[in-house]
Chains A and B, each alone.
Chain A
Amino acid sequence: MKLFNLSLIIFLLISITACKEEDNEEPTRTYWKKQISNLFDISGSNLYYIYNNALVIQDHNEIGEQYNSHEINYKNDLISFVIKDDLLLSNDLRQNTYVTNISASLITTKTRKIIIDSKDGYTVHNNFLYTMTSAERVGSGLLKISEFSESLIPIVQETIHMNKISSMASDEDVLFLCRYELDKERINLDSNSASAPDPSSESSSESSSESSSESSSESSSESSSESSSDSELESEADSISSADSNTRPTRNVRTYRPRLIAYDLSDPINIAPIEFGDNFSCEELSITNNHLIDYSNQGIRIFDISEFPLTLLSTISNGNGTRFD
């Protein structure tokens, strides 16, 4: 008993001493502070950039020589901002969102903290705020449309339930939104078939809350040899149909594929789809100079959005590099 206790105490003392020896060196430790996703932007003649807890706005010439400088200070570390129309929206490390009207004099302008239920992404168009929720569960996405009041308070005008939204971007009078839609197909259960999904990825309890075209009675006559798309979000076994001796067993699975939908924003609340597009990776969307950029692991695809239907202009493939996270 005494020997046991003694050995315990020695064990603990050695452990603590080992720690102490390292602590005696007392190195200065620097921990992660923040990652900034949008460091700077140019709008009009102003250069906007993040510095410490402030967004610095500089009136500058083309070689960056500054004339006037103004700072918007935040309580917490600023990690991203976006300028859209006359509004500047920013996010801090604690996921607070702020809005500033930058059309007015910067000296008198006020920054307001706003509450956004869905923080996964937002875009602004004609004084309306469009926010999305990209919940993990398929069928649980939300698109909220809010109108800014004169005092820059967003007042929700419309909430639209839709399947998982993955990304969104807006330009001119068009909102581009990627969502996952049901795509049911019959696949082969043959273990040699490449189209058979990993059973571990199947969930029999998953269901979609969206009432549109996702009825479980939906059937498909697609070929059993069709392979699953890389972009499938999820597959779900509905039923296994036993086959006769001449037919290999098959089963229906629900798969979800990303789909791009373009909404007309000329009526900012009653938005209407004007274009559907398949074969988008929908991992990330952005718009630059009338071009829609569809980012994926494989590369980048560039679409002309000056007119519908969208035209794929070009594809730039990635090499073997790895993304820094």
Chain B
Amino acid sequence: MKNIKPNSHQTNLIQEVLSYNDSQPNSNFFNSINYSYLFLGFFTLFLGYFFYLGFRQFDPLSLSFISTQLLVNQQTILPPMLLQSTPSLIHVISLSLINMSFFELSKARIYKIVSFWVFGNILYEIMQSPMLFGTQLIPGTSDPIDMLFALVGGLTIVLSIQFGSNSWKTFTAPLRQANKRQKNIISSFVLLLGLWAMLGCDDGNDAKPIYMSYKDLRAPLQIQDLQQPKVRYGEILISDSILVSNERNVGLHVFDNSDPTNPTFQKFIKIPGNTDMEIKNGILYADSYVDLLIIDISDLNNIYLVERHEYFFEYNPHQSIPSHIVLLDLDESEGVVVEYQFVSGRNS
């Protein structure tokens, strides 16, 4: 085999190429990452994770970030608005920082990245609203405050660039630029991570409906003489010597109001799914989920159901459950929805 040796010119060319390749910033992908941003981004993301752990009913093993109900006992620690909307702020800040860590940054590019996540969040909120499209395109509750917090998150980054330029310059030290392919992969990764965190395969609000059968709903009217220990009085109607107050979805508390200075409890009429009532000429009209009940209360010792108009009102599966719950495989023929069970196994 003939030994081919490069001539001096060729040797110089090879050495030049080798030295050129060594000097190129793209040679090492990891060198193209701004680890300060990456750390801050993931740190913020984990703050969000722990925020969920602390303040929401959240499955720690779930990687979804759009769960769900506030823990009631935590509502006293922070204002509800802050508890509800902080995730939007965290989402924008963390994803923007992670995104920014993979790019050689200019102010224009930072604004583009931040705007992307801010408007992504706003679009997400808009798609949760049934008002614009007639139905919800994404499960959840659309909240303008969330949009505002997303905007605040974006402004936090932008303003820190504007007014914290010295410290920011430390972060924005020139980075060696990754090649196009690497940037595409990284951008796709961050995009998917962000969208997944936002939309994901979340089932946090998915729940199976628990029904009360129509037979149970239409069981004979229960009238109790004892006052309930836990009462949350709702709407009040006064008619002649009778005072009636409803307890939403539970029933009606009937008082003798012949002495207006001392209304005395008389009867509790158990009416599942009651939200509204009217009295006319001693006749009480009350809804019971889909039915309209007509009850004679002219004699408080002899209250009785005069008539039940079945399927009078439209079926409303969310009458007794919070609006953010997404019901799976609802079957109206099973009965009315009185409770729900999360598919993820947590308690309702």
- Chain A interface (Cβ within 8 Å of chain B)? 1, 4-5, 8, 12, 15, 18-19, 22-23, 27-36, 38-42, 47, 49-52, 62-64, 93-94, 286, 288-289, 291, 293, 299-300, 302, 304, 313-314, 316, 318-325
Contact = CB atoms under 8 A, between A and B. Distances in A.
A175 B304 CA distance: 38
26 contacts: A12-B189, A12-B192, A15-B63, A15-B192, A15-B196, A31-B136, A32-B324, A32-B325, A35-B323, A40-B287, A40-B313, A42-B280, A51-B314, A62-B280, A63-B294, A64-B307, A286-B236, A289-B239, A291-B238, A302-B238, A304-B260, A314-B260, A316-B233, A316-B263, A320-B229, A321-B230
Contact of A319 (B229, B237, B248, B323): B229
Contacts of A318: 231-233
B283 interface: yes
Interface in B180-211: 185, 189, 192, 196, 200-201, 203, 206
A23 B201 contact: yes
Given A39-B287, A62-B283, A319-B230, A33 B248 contact: no
Contact of B135 (A15, A22, A27, A31): A31
B111 to A, nearest CB: 27
From A22, A40, A323, name the one whose CB has the most chain B CB atoms within 10 angstroms.
Answer: A40
A313 B313 contact: no
Contacts of A15: 63, 192, 196, 201
Interface residues of B, number: 66
B228 A4 contact: no
Interface stretch (B12-20, B91-99, B166-174, B326-334): B326-334
Contacts of A23: 201
Contacts of B185: 5, 8
Interface in B277-327: 278, 280-281, 283, 285, 287, 292, 294, 306-307, 309, 312-314, 316-318, 320, 322-327
Given A51-B314, A93-B130, A320-B230, A300 B326 contact: no
B313 A299 contact: no
Given A22-B203, A31-B139, A42-B278, A286 B231 contact: no
Interface of B: 29, 63, 130-131, 135-136, 139, 141, 185, 189, 192, 196, 200-201, 203, 206, 228-233, 235-239, 243, 245, 247-249, 255, 260-263, 275-276, 278, 280-281, 283, 285, 287, 292, 294, 306-307, 309, 312-314, 316-318, 320, 322-330
A19 B328 contact: no
Q: Which 3 A-B pairs have the closest CB atoms?
A: A19-B201, A321-B232, A32-B323
Given A31-B136, A39-B276, A321 B247 contact: yes
Contacts of A34: 316
Given A8-B185, A51-B313, A64-B294, A30 B232 contact: no
Contacts of B323: 32, 35
A321 B280 CA distance: 29
A208 B54 CA distance: 37
A63 B131 CA distance: 37
Contacts of B203: 22
Given A64-B309, A313-B261, A324-B320, A32 B136 contact: yes
Nearest to A17: B201
A8 B186 CA distance: 9
Q: Which DSSP category, helix, strand, loop or mixed, fits chain B's interface?
A: loop
A302 B255 CA distance: 13
Contact of B330 (A30, A64, A322, A324): A30
B232 A323 contact: yes
A319 to B, nearest CB: 4
A300 B236 contact: yes
Nearest to B309: A64
A30 B249 contact: no
Contact of B328 (A8, A27, A64, A291): A27
Contacts of A50: 313-314
B278 A93 contact: no
A314 B287 contact: no
Indicate the member of B236, B262, B317 with the most A CB atoms within 10 Å.
B236
A169 B320 CA distance: 28
Contact of A94 (B131, B236, B312): B131
A263 to B, nearest CB: 23
A157 B29 CA distance: 70
B260 A313 contact: yes
A63 B136 contact: no
B232 A28 contact: no
Contacts of B29: 1, 4
Given A64-B292, A300-B233, A289 B238 contact: yes
A183 B260 CA distance: 33
A32 B321 CA distance: 10
A31 B260 contact: no
Contact of B327 (A29, A38, A51, A94): A29
A52 B239 contact: no
B326 A30 contact: yes
